[in-house]
Amino acid sequence: MAYTIGLDYGTNSVRCLIVDTATGDELATAIHEYETGQAGIILDSSDHNLARQNPADYLKGVEATVREALAKAKDANADFDPSQIIGIGVDTTGSTPLPVDKQGTPLYLLDEFKDNPNAAAWLWKDHTGHAEAAEITALAENEHPEYLAKCGGTYSSEWFFSKILHCLRADPGVFDAAYTWVEHSDWLPAVLTGTDHPGNLKRCRCAAGHKAMFNDNWGGYPDAEFLARLDPKLGKLRATLSDETFAVDTVAGNLTQAWADKLGLSAGIPVAMGAFDAHLGAVGSGISQGVLVKIIGTSTCDMVVAPDSSDLPDIPGICGIVDGSILPGFFGLEAGQSAVGDIFNWFVNYIQPGGPQAGSHEALTQKAAELKPGQSGLLALDWNNGNRTILVDQRLTGLLIGQTLHTTPAEIYRALVEATAFGALTIINRFEEYGVRIDAVVNCGGISEKNAMLMQIYADVTGREMKIARSAQACALGSAVAGAVVAGKAAGGHDSFADAQAAMCGARDITYKPIAANQKIYAELYKLYKQLHDAFGLADYAPAPANVMKDLLNIKDNVNS
Amino acid sequence: MAYTIGLDYGTNSVRCLIVDTATGDELATAIHEYETGQAGIILDSSDHNLARQNPADYLKGVEATVREALAKAKDANADFDPSQIIGIGVDTTGSTPLPVDKQGTPLYLLDEFKDNPNAAAWLWKDHTGHAEAAEITALAENEHPEYLAKCGGTYSSEWFFSKILHCLRADPGVFDAAYTWVEHSDWLPAVLTGTDHPGNLKRCRCAAGHKAMFNDNWGGYPDAEFLARLDPKLGKLRATLSDETFAVDTVAGNLTQAWADKLGLSAGIPVAMGAFDAHLGAVGSGISQGVLVKIIGTSTCDMVVAPDSSDLPDIPGICGIVDGSILPGFFGLEAGQSAVGDIFNWFVNYIQPGGPQAGSHEALTQKAAELKPGQSGLLALDWNNGNRTILVDQRLTGLLIGQTLHTTPAEIYRALVEATAFGALTIINRFEEYGVRIDAVVNCGGISEKNAMLMQIYADVTGREMKIARSAQACALGSAVAGAVVAGKAAGGHDSFADAQAAMCGARDITYKPIAANQKIYAELYKLYKQLHDAFGLADYAPAPANVMKDLLNIKDNVNS
């Protein structure tokens, strides 16, 4: 028997999963909630953009969860022995960079900076660098449009250089004390393997490629001259960023004796290069060519791979196209919807239609499921939190059309679900317009497991089978898959991601296939959605959508007749 | 001392108001709920378009309410004597036609038809004639477009000929038994004055002009040939419709001895020609040139007068332009919003934001009143029940734009109130585009009395002072004014409507004046409203409204900064 460990660093907690490399059976799991700040996040009541984390929580988390998971594994299977753990994989949130000193120690762990949140890890959802993001976008548009072409045309405030440049401006003391900045996903595997000295540390492909404009086409990270135009000090930082990055099939290093003792594992087992949670979640969900993996939560992350031998064009509006960022040997393509579950939560929690009982997700879904497509005469845009893909415009807002004096909360709820389905189809269509085929969709995340109506609507709207990833812990499972690959077949693991996924990943028995009659109505509705999408989303779109209200009523009348 | 009686026949009940002709003081009032059907309306569970009334309820109502009001008047003022009542005015709903036999007896009061709703009064909101309305509109468009030009371009299912033609088709037995059809507002004064024999009955100007295409320009009602094209029998009915109609300054007749005895009044006192409730409500609210009277209820009725000496053009989208229909000597112009209170009721009763307590009108208004104009970033169209003026399109639907994940019910509530204010301004602007000046607005109806936030928003959006009619019974008061005019000054009444209104009508002390800072923001928001209005309401409007979402956010940012 051989097992690997998947470590999944989320926004509020870290999870350890022990997985059988032959079957994917999940032997044991343990969770540790970060202890610093509120739900693990250092906040600032005077600046709602600020969100930081304590790197010490990351270290405490790995020790606590691995120890607990090992104990549970022994309870579950008396034959289990920690020596059967042959490899480790790690996924984290991102872009979550942290400043480190010349020895690789996070500044926040030094006495001098222990109370300074600017010296902590800058969590993915920290938006303090929004002005710097705009500045980087503007400069790149003028001087290096190719930098933006691979990340959807706009450099985000959530990303690596926006955060670093903001630190440079807002707290030069911290910036100056930092030798370099590393991603959480770079740092954690490096610590476990004693390679965290900046001279040794390997940087992971997916963070660099998706969040830091790294691309082999232009020699890796943006050049020093470009960064110096933003600030001379940022130009100097470029020398500390390596010219090479590594995908998850690469060994970050081998577990040190000290960490092996702390965790109760064998020293020397390989630890895979880290990657973002969504990307290893895609691996754990069984991503492969032609299969889009959709992680549905408050927002979605939509991931696709395309052979890296192909002459893949830049795809306008797609957040990132990075060689090897999801699966080695493939371009990883990332898209997403800025709000999905958040829109339903807004309606249920903020608007509270019908009050807390009548307006619960379950009650609304039950009533909404009784409606036929097109029957309400309603249509919505899913832009309450902007549009990440394909318009890349965070300032877009929601829209609901078709209300009468008889419109019910359940009808609106269904229209909001349908809007997110139309948004999903728009992303799929964009991929296909640029030659990336999407045959099926594997979904993961709680909503996909809990809401059968939503899944059926997604199947009907997209015209594609909706599968559900077997594991409820797809990210941690993906990390365990990476651990199995770096361990290799000889050690009880696998020699390729394809082999590892075939053995360890899978879909649930329940699946949702398009229903032809519904598809037909949704095809009509999607035309109207696209019309509103273009009329409100594209500055240069001409025709006014005067037909939309009447067309919706005609569809409604036809459905009801 | 001299008093007149105003009889106000509403949808569910009739009210009698006794008013001092010198001061407008309302000495006593009494209400009688109609007894037949549900809340006074004969319904048909298999046809929700059907809404009829029993003419016997109208007769019972006048007797019950006048007797009760006289008794109350005596209680209120020991010096009061019924002989001080010098005239009567009557308003009713409309178009509410009823079939009568050759003697003028309503068919429903005959044994033969007592259980047949087709023989009853066809209440204004009966929509059984919707197919016939479309047929009449189509024929008029081809052959007599001038018939439609005075009533907004579309003949409604709520109107006189749609109902009669539907009866002819659906129940020829009733149609054949009817000698002619009279409006409730024609019939009631005729009954009280013994002039209800078809040979004697005078038809009122406002019903004929607004609902039956009557106009002196083409010799009164539509010609027999036109009606015969719809059905030969309808062509024959034309001979029973008089060529002359009468405004409310005309005496319908004098109270008969029999009715005087029944009511406890003096025989021979004059009864004014009837008119629709909204029109006499406008009179009771103090309508005059330059003053728009807005009756705000579930929908609105907006009324304006213009000198009938003026060369008034047809105004596209205005429901009706009829000489003398509101005030003698003036064109009466009628517009309206298809839903106002109904939109707020929909949100509160159907959507129930926050549940029954947190989502009451009062609770939402209180929170909404704390918001600044433009602060929510929301904008709505007030079309949940279509658009009566200026688009005349019942199939238009609602729209809400600008939602984020933080949008609250109170913000939506305010956006809906603002949408109705923008709709109100659109009507005012249409009048002014065609040379009919609107300097001030007098509002009546419960919402205007109860919702100060709404009134202030209306003032800020329209840039006009919002007054509130002094009387809470503006329709009944307007009828009493008509009663005072037909009685004349010599008898203790007045010789003109202007004199009678000056003495008997007025506005409340509380008034709402535009606040310049709010006006400025609303002017920006109205531009965006008009853009959506035209983009979704006009088939031939070209530019897509892509700017609307961002402009709303810019306004929001400016308001918040």
Q: Please state the domain extents for chain B.
A: 3-277, 287-470+515-561
Contact B533, B386 (CB under 8 A): no
Closest Cα to residue B275, out of B330, B326, B334? B326
> pLDDT-based confidence at B395, cuts 50/70/90?
confident
Q: Which of A125, A350, A420, A557 to mutate to test the interface with B (most CBs of B within 10 A)?
A: A350
> pLDDT-based confidence at A339, cuts 50/70/90?
very high
Q: Give the one of B356, B384, B404 whose C-beta lies nearest to A355's C-beta.
A: B356
Q: CA neighbours within 13 Å on the CB side: how many for B118?
A: 20
- List of chain B residues whose C-beta atoms are within 8 Å of the C-beta of residue A407: 346, 350-351, 384, 398
Q: Which of A549, A552, A553 to mutate to test the interface with B (most CBs of B within 10 A)?
A: A549
**Which residue of chain B has the CA closest to A537?**
B546
**Tokens coding B381:** 């169209």
Give me the residue label for tokens 């928001």: B525
Per DSSP, the three-state class of B408 is: coil
CA distance A87 to chain B (A): 42
Q: Give the one of A342, A356, A377 whose C-beta lies nearest to B405's C-beta.
A: A342
- List of chain A residues whose C-beta atoms are within 8 Å of the C-beta of residue B396: 549
Sign of the Cα torsion A215, A219, A225, A227 reads positive
Distances (CA, A) of B230 to A416, B156, B166: 46, 15, 11
Cα B504 to Cα B478: distance, rounded to the nearest angstrom: 9
Per DSSP, the three-state class of A58 is: helix
Q: What's the rounded mean pLDDT across residues B276-300? A: 96
The answer to whether the CB atoms of A548 and B539 lie below 8 A apart is: no
More confident residue, A38 or A394: A38
**Is the pLDDT confidence value at B551 over 90?**
no
pLDDT tens-digit profile of A37-51? Answer: 999 999 998 888 899
| Residue % of chain A over a pLDDT of 70 | 100
Q: Give the one of A397, A534, A553 whose C-beta lies nearest to B549's C-beta.
A: A397
Per the prediction, chain B carries an average pLDDT of 95
Please, where are the H alpha helices in A346-408? 355-358, 361-368
Cα B115 to Cα B386: distance, rounded to the nearest angstrom: 35
**Tokens coding A227:** 């960064």
Cα A448 to Cα A467: distance, rounded to the nearest angstrom: 9
Give me the residue label for tokens 């809906």: B416
> pLDDT-based confidence at B41, cuts 50/70/90?
very high
- List of chain A residues whose C-beta atoms are within 8 Å of the C-beta of residue B374: none
Q: What's the rounded mean pLDDT across residues A15-39? A: 97
Q: Give the one of A354, A402, A536 whose C-beta lies nearest to B546's C-beta.
A: A536
Phi, psi of B443 (to 5 degrees): -100, 145
**Which residue of chain A has the CA closest to B531?**
A544
More confident residue, A427 or B542: A427
Phi, psi of B152 (to 5 degrees): 85, 5
Q: Give the one of B405, B544, B552 whose C-beta lies nearest to A346's C-beta.
A: B405
- List of chain B residues whose C-beta atoms are within 8 Å of the C-beta of residue A352: 352-355, 358-359, 409
The answer to whether the CB atoms of A350 and B407 lie below 8 A apart is: yes
Q: At the fourth CATH level, which superfamily is domain B3-277?
A: ATPase, nucleotide binding domain (3.30.420.40)
Contact B201, B188 (CB under 8 A): no
- Residue B48 is predicted with a pLDDT of 84
Q: Which of B337, B379, B403, B547 to mutate to test the interface with A (most CBs of A within 10 A)?
A: B403
pLDDT tens-digit profile of A411-424? Answer: 999 999 999 999 99
Q: Give the one of B405, B538, B542 whose C-beta lies nearest to A339's C-beta.
A: B405
**Tokens coding A325:** 């960022």
Closest Cα to residue B553, out of B435, B403, B443, B440? B403
Contact B24, B30 (CB under 8 A): no
Maximum distance among all Cα pairs of chain B, rounded to whole angstroms: 74
**Tokens coding A396:** 């877009």
**Which residue of chain B has the CA closest to A396?**
B549
Cα A63 to Cα A46: distance, rounded to the nearest angstrom: 34
Q: Give the one of A345, A385, A542 whose C-beta lies nearest to B544's C-beta.
A: A542
Lowest model confidence (mean pLDDT) among A401-405, A548-552, B75-79, B401-405: A548-552
Which range of A313-322, A441-450, A459-468 scores highest in mean pLDDT? It is A459-468
- List of chain A residues whose C-beta atoms are within 8 Å of the C-beta of residue B388: none
**Which residue of chain A has the CA closest to B379?**
A399
Cα B18 to Cα A404: distance, rounded to the nearest angstrom: 40
- Residue A376 is predicted with a pLDDT of 92
- Residue A416 is predicted with a pLDDT of 98
Distances (CA, A) of B251 to A389, A437, A545, B192, B247: 72, 82, 53, 12, 9
- List of chain A residues whose C-beta atoms are within 8 Å of the C-beta of residue B364: none
Long-range pairs, A444-447, Cβ under 8 A, ≥24 = A444/A281, A444/A284, A444/A285, A444/A293, A444/A294, A444/A295, A444/A296, A444/A468, A444/A469, A444/A471, A444/A472, A444/A474, A445/A294, A445/A295, A445/A296, A445/A297, A445/A300, A446/A296, A446/A297, A447/A296, A447/A297, A447/A340, A447/A341
- Residue B50 is predicted with a pLDDT of 94
**Tokens coding B91:** 């308003």
The answer to whether the CB atoms of B405 and A385 lie below 8 A apart is: yes
H or E, element range at B216: none
CA distance B321 to chain A (A): 29
Cα B41 to Cα B9: distance, rounded to the nearest angstrom: 13
The answer to whether the CB atoms of B395 and A535 lie below 8 A apart is: no
Contact A468, A507 (CB under 8 A): yes
H or E, element range at B558: helix B548-560
CA distance A162 to chain B (A): 23
- Residue A404 is predicted with a pLDDT of 93
**Is the pLDDT confidence value at A151 over 90?**
no
- List of chain A residues whose C-beta atoms are within 8 Å of the C-beta of residue B355: 352, 354-356, 359
**Which residue of chain B has the CA closest to A387?**
B404
**Which residue of chain A has the CA closest to B546?**
A536
The answer to whether the CB atoms of B396 and A538 lie below 8 A apart is: no
**Tokens coding B170:** 């659906």
The answer to whether the CB atoms of B399 and A395 lie below 8 A apart is: no
The residues near B522 (Cβ < 8 Å, ≥ 6 apart) are B373, B374, B418, B421, B460, B461
- Residue A502 is predicted with a pLDDT of 98
Closest Cα to residue A433, out of A530, A326, A561, A560? A530
> pLDDT-based confidence at A546, cuts 50/70/90?
confident
Cα A134 to Cα A138: distance, rounded to the nearest angstrom: 6
The residues near A463 (Cβ < 8 Å, ≥ 6 apart) are A514, A519
Fold of A287-470+515-561: Nucleotidyltransferase; domain 5 (3.30.420)
Cα B409 to Cα A321: distance, rounded to the nearest angstrom: 40
Cα A372 to Cα A560: distance, rounded to the nearest angstrom: 9
The answer to whether the CB atoms of B384 and A377 lie below 8 A apart is: no
The answer to whether the CB atoms of B549 and A539 lie below 8 A apart is: no
pLDDT tens-digit profile of A196-236? Answer: 999 999 999 999 999 999 999 999 999 999 999 999 999 99
Contact A197, A103 (CB under 8 A): yes
The residues near A483 (Cβ < 8 Å, ≥ 6 apart) are A4, A5, A6, A86, A87, A88, A89, A270, A271, A272, A493
ipTM above 0.95, yes or no: no
> pLDDT-based confidence at A96, cuts 50/70/90?
very high
Q: Do domains A3-277 and A287-470+515-561 have the same CATH topology?
A: yes
- Residue B269 is predicted with a pLDDT of 98
Closest Cα to residue A212, out of A280, A140, A266? A140
The answer to whether the CB atoms of B407 and A346 lie below 8 A apart is: yes
Q: At what angle do helices B409-433 and B452-462 cross, to 10 degrees?
A: 40
The answer to whether the CB atoms of B534 and A550 lie below 8 A apart is: no
- Residue A355 is predicted with a pLDDT of 86
Buried residues in A67-78 as b, exposed as e (16+ CB within 10 A):
bbbbebbeeebe
The residues near A547 (Cβ < 8 Å, ≥ 6 apart) are A531, B539
Q: What's the rounded mean pLDDT across residues B280-304? A: 96
**pTM of the prediction?**
0.90
Contact B341, B296 (CB under 8 A): yes
pLDDT tens-digit profile of B418-453? Answer: 999 999 999 999 999 999 999 999 999 889 999 999
- List of chain A residues whose C-beta atoms are within 8 Å of the C-beta of residue B353: 351-353
**Tokens coding B2:** 């001299």
Contact A350, A412 (CB under 8 A): no
Q: What's the rounded mean pLDDT across residues B92-98? A: 97
Q: What's the rounded mean pLDDT across residues A493-520? A: 97
Cα B213 to Cα B160: distance, rounded to the nearest angstrom: 9
CA distance A409 to chain B (A): 5
pLDDT tens-digit profile of B306-361? Answer: 998 768 888 888 877 899 999 999 999 999 999 999 999 999 999 999 888 889 99
